[in-house]
Structure 1
Amino acid sequence: GMELAKQIRQLPDKKKASTPIIAISGNYKNYSKADFDEVGINDYLIKPLDYDALVSAVKKYV
């Protein structure tokens, strides 16, 4: 996920490169907010997934 986010942010097409990215992770304890920010992840949610939080996060970016 982190590597994919980096690759998306480096796309030459600026519209595609700015696509909002919301990570869903069960491994969040190994990362800080700064780590997610550094690769361009806009928001992240932890597992087990709270579907209300997911809907809220998606609404922020659409």
Structure 2
Amino acid sequence: MKVEMVVYKGFGHGINKPKSMRAVMQHNLAWFNHYLFGDALPDLSNLPIPKKPVGEGGT
């Protein structure tokens, strides 16, 4: 089974920001849809990962 490691910049063990939590759920859903239901495995590196809003280190 293929394994991919996704690192969310600025987070340690826990994802605690809503936009980043959504990105994690999208990655997980895509993975499970592929391995449990046979959907095509998307390129997970191209799924949108939210950027930090201005004022939190973003531009």
Both structures adopt the same fold (TM-score exceeding 0.5): no
Which structure's residues are more often strand, by fraction? 1
TM-score, normalization by structure 1: 0.31
With the length of structure 2 as denominator, give the TM-score of the two structures. Answer: 0.32
More helix by share: 1
Question: Which has the bigger relative contact order, CA under 8 A and spacing at least 6?
Answer: 1
Larger Rg: 2
